[in-house]
Amino acid sequence: MSKIDPSRIALVVGLVAGSLGSAASCAAEPSGPATAESFSAADGLKAGDWLVHGRIIGMIPTERTSRIELIGGRVDTPTAVLPDLDVSYFLTDHLAVSGQAGAIRTRPVIRNSLAGDIAIGSIWNAAVAGVVRYHFLPNARFNPYLGVGASATTPIAVYPAKGIPAFTVKSQASPLIQAGFDYHLTGNWFGNAMVKYVFVPPVSYEVAGVQVKADLNMLIVGAGIGYRF
């Protein structure tokens, strides 16, 4: 995976923790009779609840480096906008486990090589992910959380671009961290926003006799709604 300055990680974690802590403090303070009548602790997420999130997410490659033998250049993986769905189960009022599965398509391109820009093709991966999340304010309307987990991808179809011979890619496993919040809207409906950082291991494959090595991490941001069962 890409090398990251430890001081940068500490700064990001500090900012996220500080922001969530401030928001949590504000949410925990009483806000008058009107709020008390419209929301009670019973409306919050609690042990035994199932919560399904549906979101629109953006997958943004970061910390990118690459090496391409013979022709030079760099590997560019474009940002992608995708639908996202996960299912969570609350083990306790504060602790939940989340899982999701689906298919992800990437379209890497070699940029600025001696042969110009070269489209490599489309790579479809089956992806699964699991996250353990800690929810800070289960009895409040605004319920921020932090999570840690892992994702795994396995190629299911590789479609080379025109003029590119068949090639293969390997399966991967990646650790991840996550931060977000659920906001009670009404009944069993919740608004949700989250940010996830995936530490992707380096990948290598051979395209038309050229060895390609790429290293990147993935920043995922998303927003949507959730429904409690």
Which pLDDT score, from 0 to 100, does residue 152 have? 97
pLDDT at 31 over 80: no
Q: Please give the pLDDT value at position 32.
A: 45
Question: What single-letter amino acid sits at 123?
Answer: I
- Cβ neighbors of 54 (< 8 A, separation 6 or more) are 83, 84, 85, 224, 225, 226
pLDDT in tens, 70-90: 889 999 988 999 999 999 999
Q: Domains, the chain, ranges and CATH? A: 6-27+41-228 (2.40.160.20)
> Nearest CA to 55 among 187, 197, 226, 184?
226
pLDDT digits (tens, 9 = 90+) for 89-116: 999 999 999 999 999 888 999 999 998 9
pLDDT per position as a tens digit, 157-167:
999 999 888 88
* Helix, strand and coil in the chain, % to nearest 5: 15, 60, 25
pLDDT higher than 80, residue 41? no
48: CB partners within 8 A, 6+ apart: 90
Burial category of 120 from C-beta neighbours within 10 Å (exposed 0-12, middle 13-18, buried 19 and up)? buried
User: Has residue 21 got a pLDDT over 80?
Assistant: no
**Helix (H) / strand (E) containing 166:** none
Mean pLDDT of the chain: 86
